[in-house]
A and B are shown apart, each in its own frame.
Chain A
């Protein structure tokens, strides 16, 4: 069986984090989301994998080249929609195949359930179905798919994972796969709805924290690098090669720390924290429930809670991220969600900055002693 992974879309609701990479490449527990999808396929013995790339494709291709599994790459020149992306892979398809989004987590058990079916859709229950395609099911068959409805008739949503026969290409008349599915249903085709075993999507940047803590449950303990004898570790902790953890640091897993980092001395890393490569966490800093991407630097005496930091953020001493909830407009919708901070790539903050329920764009600079709240555009200087 073949599988087509769609990884061409940006995932614009996750901005500012998708500036240099598509959503599928965002690291969660220090691995890009697409890797979890590929793992789930490989565990099911599906090795013939085609990945459709588009937005920031170089980043995706470079990463795919590093994997052991040989992966076929096809390019969707313009990001018109999922069906258009699938058409880009048409020439590579030789038989029945699965279609999966590259930017949602899916486990191997779910794949095992759907790969047995021909013409099927994998569905899941979600508390806020309005962000997804809602699937109306009767007698185990999908009857209708309603895209992002204001009032959803049910909590069952499409995971975007399908099992198709090659004749699906004749139904791809518009640019979206759900339209093709509707056409297939209309022509009398039976599309089975299969419940997923475990599936998770991150729609908005703060959702990455939930995905991160979910993925951290699966990490394997490993200690590379140099960890001082006085360091206290509890739970599952993974530390990459070349990383130094200084004296009297406390790490409570699940925590993953990448390669060539410098942590401590005297830091506290609490559960549900991912730290990328080459990150520096200076002394007396506390980090909990956060996703810190590569090359970030967090100054001493900081308190980082419920935060997502993009690549290369440089935060001086006494930085605080303070979780609270206020109304934020993202992608034409107003949201209220509790989190501390979401920072794009290359954000710089002077000493004593407080982020409070803040989404700061790429390359934002914040001067000394400010409290920043809400949405800040890319490149802004906060004075």
Chain B
């Protein structure tokens, strides 16, 4: 889950690399480093965040360079464990995103052959292996090393006496950006947006030889052509502008990203695929898992369609019997567990569909078909607009199965989302920011919405939060209710309204302060709870969205009140590309 970037061309490499690493920082931010080919290989690396100003000190000469921002897997975050890593002679430097599973064995063999290791990382073995095979032809040396490596990698390597970068990918993302007499390489397209709109997505097993004016891609030793694609994202989308945090910016972009995703619709192939399914299995992790659960609660009653939701991380080792359409949901399209699960579904001859935000990402190449959500680049680590855009994509599947019954509801949903953005939640924020634990409860589709609300709360504000199905609270968690544990309850008109209202009264009887989300004008509910957050009285599908957005705002403002680093919560990275 690290981010890597490489540059070769006519500009000074250092500023391009530093800027690129800032864009990739969401992938990991415990240390960073760059290396360039100057008169020799020069390396600068540092523990800490690239945006904390440390990067200002870095200036290395050279027009060819590589950079890395790290989320530690092997070895703690430190200056030494930061990438780039060099060989014994200091003539070769490389950065790596992924995990080399057989590194300890390789390391032992290398040590026996007299190599000295400086770091505890798995990456350093690659540098030493390349060193052994390097005789002036970096491409040949790297190509010879790759078969020895087991695991996942996206690697960029440079050598002291040659103006070229050798890039290789296997199960970790890597894209090339093609400019005018310059070539870029990066973990995703965000660092490239400022310089070029032409990108090449490398395939697993590809090795690319990059020089300022050309790139050559090899697969199994043979030169291959990969299509150059145009990217639709623009660099403005990756700027924070005047917003205090990316997360807030992205929360406020939701009316637009939801609408764009709905308007893009679903193409005929995808439509046919979902119409033919007699059973759907969704595989996802984290926030995407919650959207998948919402889909289950909507699709089963509304379209009478059996839906199963599996966690990507469990799927690989505890694979359920598979039948029917398998849908992988992943914002980045690079979530390792979800991709592994998708590959297994494919191996079992199930039709597969990917729902992702990133065109050209790995998941789109594994799945038979892709339904692209139009959220634009999401930089904040906590998923917000990608969550609602995923729901937009999934709700379109529900709509397709219901012969367009919700066309009108979905095409106007962005207005209700916009309305929620200006609702007042100050009192609820004050209450949550004083609490040590917060419970989120709801029924039906609002159960996963509560889970998502709790996830947002804990991941950015570090306030312990749990989401429960309201009826389950009495089976245990009730013991934890006190006057100091606020409960956020979702209670909207429908079959569960009265039972939810009596649940709330039970909680009140245990003196727990209750924050209720209900619809405009629900005076009865407002009277029995401590804090009432009204949302527009709309269709169930839209309520799911508006309440989710209200809970995002609650988590965001609580985190701000507690002065947390909202965009880069501790220990987390945006796309989890390791198991």
- Are the chains A and B members of one assembly? yes
Interface residues of A (CB under 8 A from B): 19-20, 51, 53, 56-59, 61-62, 64-66, 73-75, 260, 278, 295, 311-312, 345-346, 363, 379
Cβ-defined contact, B419 with A75, below 8 A: no
A278 to B422, CA, bound (A): 21
Which chain A residue has the least Cβ–Cβ distance from B418?
A20
SS class, residues of chain A in contact with chain B: mixed
Which chain A residue has the least Cβ–Cβ distance from B252?
A58
A33 to B277, CA, bound (A): 50
The minimal Cβ–Cβ distance linking B383 to chain A, given in whole angstroms, is 19
A51 to B418, CA, bound (A): 23
Known: A65-B236, A295-B412, A312-B412. Contact between A346 and B241, CB under 8 A?
no
The minimal Cβ–Cβ distance linking B202 to chain A, given in whole angstroms, is 32
The minimal Cβ–Cβ distance linking A311 to chain B, given in whole angstroms, is 7
The minimal Cβ–Cβ distance linking B514 to chain A, given in whole angstroms, is 24
Cβ-defined contact, A62 with B252, below 8 A: yes
Set of chain A residues within 8 Å of B296, measured between Cβ atoms:
none
A158 to B129, CA, bound (A): 76
Interface residues of B (CB under 8 A from A): 236, 239, 241-243, 248-249, 252-253, 259, 263, 411-412, 414-415, 418-419, 421-422, 520-521
Most central of A58, A66, A74, A311 by chain B CB within 10 Å: A58
Set of chain B residues within 8 Å of A51, measured between Cβ atoms:
242
Set of chain B residues within 8 Å of A65, measured between Cβ atoms:
236, 239, 241-242
Known: A65-B236, A295-B412, A312-B412. Contact between A58 and B241, CB under 8 A?
no
Cβ-defined contact, A346 with B242, below 8 A: no
Which chain A residue has the least Cβ–Cβ distance from B411?
A278
Set of chain B residues within 8 Å of A295, measured between Cβ atoms:
412, 414-415
Which chain B residue has the least Cβ–Cβ distance from A60?
B242
13 contacts between A and B (CB under 8 A): A20-B418, A20-B419, A20-B422, A58-B248, A59-B252, A62-B253, A65-B236, A73-B242, A74-B242, A295-B415, A311-B415, A346-B415, A379-B520
Set of chain A residues within 8 Å of B421, measured between Cβ atoms:
58
Cβ-defined contact, A58 with B415, below 8 A: no
Set of chain B residues within 8 Å of A278, measured between Cβ atoms:
259, 411
Cβ-defined contact, B412 with A64, below 8 A: no
The minimal Cβ–Cβ distance linking A102 to chain B, given in whole angstroms, is 14
Set of chain B residues within 8 Å of A73, measured between Cβ atoms:
241-242
Cβ-defined contact, A346 with B243, below 8 A: no
Which chain B residue has the least Cβ–Cβ distance from A311?
B415
User: A19's contact among B248, B259, B422, by CB below 8 Å, is which?
Assistant: B422
Which chain A residue has the least Cβ–Cβ distance from B234?
A66
Cβ-defined contact, A58 with B243, below 8 A: yes
Cβ-defined contact, A61 with B419, below 8 A: no
The minimal Cβ–Cβ distance linking B557 to chain A, given in whole angstroms, is 13
Set of chain B residues within 8 Å of A19, measured between Cβ atoms:
422
User: B249's contact among A53, A56, A62, A74, by CB below 8 Å, is which?
Assistant: A62
Set of chain B residues within 8 Å of A56, measured between Cβ atoms:
422
Set of chain B residues within 8 Å of A363, measured between Cβ atoms:
520
Cβ-defined contact, A53 with B415, below 8 A: no
Cβ-defined contact, A61 with B422, below 8 A: no
The minimal Cβ–Cβ distance linking A69 to chain B, given in whole angstroms, is 12
Set of chain B residues within 8 Å of A66, measured between Cβ atoms:
236
A56 to B242, CA, bound (A): 13
Known: A58-B421, A61-B243. Contact between A260 and B415, CB under 8 A?
no
Set of chain A residues within 8 Å of B249, measured between Cβ atoms:
58, 61-62
Contacts A19-B422, A65-B239, A312-B415 given; 7 further ones with Cβ under 8 A?
A: A58-B252, A61-B241, A62-B253, A73-B241, A73-B242, A278-B259, A346-B419
Cβ-defined contact, A64 with B252, below 8 A: no
A58 to B418, CA, bound (A): 11
